[in-house]
């Protein structure tokens, strides 16, 4: 008899357990519960980190399991944020506008309300008309659908074009990077309809929740992020555990062989690409209400590359690796760039971490790639005694990956 899903994947239960403990612990220490150990701003940072862990899982699925180094997933993340941000901004501005117009002697017409909202939102880019893409912004449900639909559709179309023409490897990476750049440049324009480089702001204020303190709202978002992360982890683990997982790992290791075995490689790739794009978008939709502001700089290619960095440092090809990497690096990054890390005086020069953190990150990234390709997650292998053979020296055979000199000597 086949063992159950959880029995085959013990790490899932361990992860869910850890996440639940973490969530309960943080909740107990949060400001909203009156204990005040964790400030609201740090609670937000933790909530955002959970969202980053979720997008890292998506990245791990596409890169660590399917072998596609996408440098565009933060674009889907940002798009998700934009979609939810549109509703947040519209609904909140509507409330403000309606409240201010209620004092007028003559009740406003529906058109006047919409015009006033438009002036409020787009005044900053010198416009007052609602662009077409805001057509659904007045409905939370429709806009939440768009959170999934817009990035999903973009990923579907882009992936279909790219995989169909058999663009693989580094070419695909560059192509996804180009897509991200194109999107970011487009959003930077003032007439893109999404407020140009001002982006959408004030997203931390939920419409109609002015009476509820931020501490409480942050906690809700923290719970939602934790729940989404747990669900996302479960989904990803389920996807990679069965036959489907075997096929996409096969594609990663030798695409041509899988194709000759009769699998529709393009279909599998497209599915994983779109699925991960949707996961990224959901993560983004949870992230930006906690961050409060989104602008096109968040979509710049560099963000997607950082995502790859997190996954690589955490250890790709294992889901908990991605989570560890994203949490570890992003929290460390917040610590260093926030000016909390102590400076190191060298006598002739003082190392100020705000300036040198990027250098440290870059170098440690090179070191991880060179010496610890398994990343932090590789430590788990050491603990469990799963050590891969030490392979040094030149290849003996004609292909890479064949038996190597020092292995043969043993």
Partner 1 sequence: MTRLIMAALAALMLCVSMAAAQDSPIQALLQEHRVLIEESSRKTIQPAIDALRDSGFPEAQAVLEKWQAKDLWQREADKLFFFVEKVDSKNYRLLDIATGEAAGEFPKKELNQLKPNSGVRSLIGAALVQFQLMAKDPAKRIEALDAIQRDPAAEHLVALSGAIAKETDPDIRDRKERLVRLLTISFGETEEARIAAIESFKGDLGVDVRGALNPLVATSREVAVGTLPEGVNIAAVLKPGSTAFSEAEAYDLLVSKDLVLPRITAADRRAALQENITDARVGGVPVAQLNTEEARERAYQALAEAGLVRAAATQAQIAEALAAHVFFEKYAEPSAAITEAANDTLSSINTQVGFNQFIDLTLDAMSLASIYFLAAIGLAITFGVMGVINMAHGEFIMMGAYTGYVVQQVIPDYTVSIIVALPLAFAVTFAAGVAMERLVIRWLYNRPLETLLATFGISIALQQLAKNIFGTQARPLTSPAWLDGALVLNDVVSISYIRIAIFVLALIFLGVFLFIMRRTRLGLEVRAVTQNPRMAASMGINPDRINMLTFGLGSGIAGIAGVAIGLYAKVTSELGSDYIVQSFMTVVVGGVGNIWGTLLGASMIGFLQKGIEWMNPSNTLAAQTYMIIFIIIFIQFRPRGIIALKGRAAGD
Query: Which residues sit at the interface with partner 1, rule CB under 8 A?
Result: 69, 104-111, 158, 161-162, 164-167, 169-171, 173-175, 177-179, 181-183, 185-186, 188-189, 191, 301-302, 305, 308-309, 312, 355-359, 361-366, 369-370, 373, 398, 400-401
Nearer to partner 1 by C-beta: 82 or 233? 82
Q: How far is CA 261 from the centre of its chain?
A: 33
Least CB distance from residue 363 to partner 1, whole Å? Answer: 5
Least CB distance from residue 279 to partner 1, whole Å? Answer: 21
Nearer to partner 1 by C-beta: 175 or 228? 175
CA–CA gap between residue 314 and residue 367 (Å, rounded): 13
CA–CA gap between residue 191 and residue 196 (Å, rounded): 7
Query: What does the block give as tokens for 240?
Result: 């990679």
CA–CA gap between residue 108 and residue 116 (Å, rounded): 10
Least CB distance from residue 183 to partner 1, whole Å? Answer: 8
Least CB distance from residue 204 to partner 1, whole Å? Answer: 28
Q: How far is CA 81 from CA 85, 149, 236, 241, 318, in A?
A: 6, 13, 21, 30, 26
Least CB distance from residue 373 to partner 1, whole Å? Answer: 7
CA–CA gap between residue 24 and residue 36 (Å, rounded): 15
Yes or no: say if 251 and 269 are a contact pair by the CB < 8 Å rule: yes
Nearer to partner 1 by C-beta: 228 or 309? 309
Least CB distance from residue 69 to partner 1, whole Å? Answer: 5
Q: In this structure, what DSSP letter does residue 128 have? A: -
Torsion angles phi and psi, residue 200, rounded to 5: -105, 135
Nearer to partner 1 by C-beta: 202 or 373? 373
Candidates 36, 382, 54; CA nearest to 221 is 54
Least CB distance from residue 129 to partner 1, whole Å? Answer: 15
Nearer to partner 1 by C-beta: 211 or 370? 370
Q: How far apart are the first and last CA of the chain?
A: 40
- With a CB cutoff of 8 Å and minimum separation 6, the contacts of 130 are 114, 117, 118, 122, 137
Nearer to partner 1 by C-beta: 112 or 381? 112
Least CB distance from residue 23 to partner 1, whole Å? Answer: 32
Q: In this structure, what DSSP letter does residue 38 have? A: B
CA–CA gap between residue 245 and residue 27 (Å, rounded): 35
Nearer to partner 1 by C-beta: 15 or 130? 130
Yes or no: say if 275 and 261 are a contact pair by the CB < 8 Å rule: no
Nearer to partner 1 by C-beta: 193 or 289? 193
Nearer to partner 1 by C-beta: 59 or 285? 59
Least CB distance from residue 67 to partner 1, whole Å? Answer: 8
CA–CA gap between residue 157 and residue 276 (Å, rounded): 14
């Amino acid at each position: 008899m086949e063992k159950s899903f959880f029995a085959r994947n013990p790490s899932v239960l361990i992860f869910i357990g850890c996440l639940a403990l973490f969530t309960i612990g943080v909740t107990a220490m949060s400001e909203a519960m009156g204990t005040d150990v964790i400030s609201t701003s740090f609670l937000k940072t933790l909530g955002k980190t959970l969202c980053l862990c979720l997008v890292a899982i998506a990245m791990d699925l596409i890169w660590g399991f399917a072998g596609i180094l996408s440098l565009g997933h933060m674009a889907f993340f940002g798009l998700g944020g934009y979609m939810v941000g549109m509703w947040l901004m519209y609904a909140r501005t509507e409330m403000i506008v309606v409240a201010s117009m209620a004092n007028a002697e003559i009740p406003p017409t529906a058109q006047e309300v919409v015009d006033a909202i438009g002036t409020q939102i787009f005044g900053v880019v010198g416009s007052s008309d609602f662009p077409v893409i805001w057509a659904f912004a007045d409905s939370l449900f429709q806009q939440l659908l768009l959170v999934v639909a817009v990035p999903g559709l973009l990923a579907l179309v882009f992936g279909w074009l790219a995989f169909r023409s058999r663009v693989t490897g580094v070419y695909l990476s560059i192509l996804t990077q180009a897509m991200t750049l194109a999107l970011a440049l487009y959003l930077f324009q003032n007439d893109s309809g999404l407020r140009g480089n001002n982006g959408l702001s004030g997203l931390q204020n939920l419409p109609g929740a002015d009476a509820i303190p931020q501490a409480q709202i942050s906690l809700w978002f923290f719970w939602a992020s934790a729940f989404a992360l747990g669900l996302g982890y479960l989904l990803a683990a389920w996807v990679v555990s069965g036959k489907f997982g075997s096929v996409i790992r096969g594609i990663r290791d030798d695409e041509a062989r899988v194709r000759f075995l009769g699998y529709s490689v393009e279909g599998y790739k497209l599915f994983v690409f779109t699925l991960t794009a949707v996961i990224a978008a959901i993560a983004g939709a949870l992230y930006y209400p906690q961050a409060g502001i989104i602008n096109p700089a968040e979509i710049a290619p560099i963000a997607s590359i950082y995502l790859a960095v997190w996954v690589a440092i955490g250890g790709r090809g294992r889901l908990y690796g991605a989570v560890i990497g994203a949490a570890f690096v992003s929290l460390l990054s917040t610590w260093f760039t926030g000016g909390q890390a102590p400076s190191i005086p060298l006598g002739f020069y003082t190392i100020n971490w705000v300036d040198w953190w990027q250098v440290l990150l870059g170098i440690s990234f090179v070191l991880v790639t060179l010496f610890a390709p398994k990343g932090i997650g590789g430590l788990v292998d050491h603990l469990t005694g799963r050590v891969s053979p030490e392979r040094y020296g030149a290849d003996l055979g004609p292909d890479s990956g064949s038996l190597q000199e020092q292995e043969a000597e043993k």
